[in-house]
Amino acid sequence: MDAIAALHNRRSEAALGDPAPGDAVLENIELAALAAADHATLTPWRFLRVRGEARHRLGELFVHAREAAEGPLSTTERERTRNRPLRAPLLIVAIACCRTNTKVPEIEQIISAGAAAQNMLNAAYAQGVGAIWRTGGFAYDAQVKVGLGLSAHEHIVGFLYLGTVTAQRPPRPPRAPEAFFQDWTG
């Protein structure tokens, strides 16, 4: 797909199923992440792939996190929470690894990790892979962060869900550049 067409038309897709992206397609997605804008070349990011059985373990981690915060969940809520990572065959956890021995502010490093996540969405769409960026409370939950092995200077910027689109969303209603861009003339 033409790059401009992909950037203009990309849509997040929530209804995702098997198969997960194949190796070559996934490698393109990963390489796109590594091309994110990055002040001072800190590469302040890393990524975890969660697929297959590991998704069930992530679901358990989500349940533990919620129960630690809210107390015991009902059977229905526990099941709903446990099944969250099963909404796609592949999840990529995008993590900002904020360096402290630099003048680059933490916010810029987090933005760079977000740019890497957006690059992955674009690369997925360009190759016909469905993807959606999710956070929810779990991205900011201390138990989830520990369970995924994050250190104190790391932040989850998103869980990207990737797979095959099973029910396509309608195109985004058009947005006029004039509504968002103005000339500043001093």
Q: Under rule CB under 6 A, which residues in 136-175 are in contact with ligand FMN? A: 136, 158, 172
DSSP 8-state secondary structure symbol assigned to residue 109: H
Which x/- pattern, by CB under 6 A, does the window 40-79 give for ligand FMN? ----------------------------------------
Contact range with ligand FMN by CB under 6 A, out of 18-26, 39-47, 132-140, 174-182 = 132-140
Size of the site for ligand FMN (CB under 6 A): 9
CA distance 141 to 65: 7
CB of 79 to ligand FMN, least distance (A): 19
CB of 30 to ligand FMN, least distance (A): 19
**Which residues lie below 8 Å from residue 8, measured CB to CB, with a gap of 6+?**
none
CA neighbor of 158 nearest in space, from 103, 108, 119, 105: 119
Ordered alpha helix ranges (H), the chain: 3-9, 23-33, 54-70, 75-82, 106-126, 142-147
12 is a contact residue toward ligand FMN (CB under 6 A): yes
Q: What is the binding site for ligand FMN (CB under 6 A)?
A: 11-12, 132-136, 158, 172
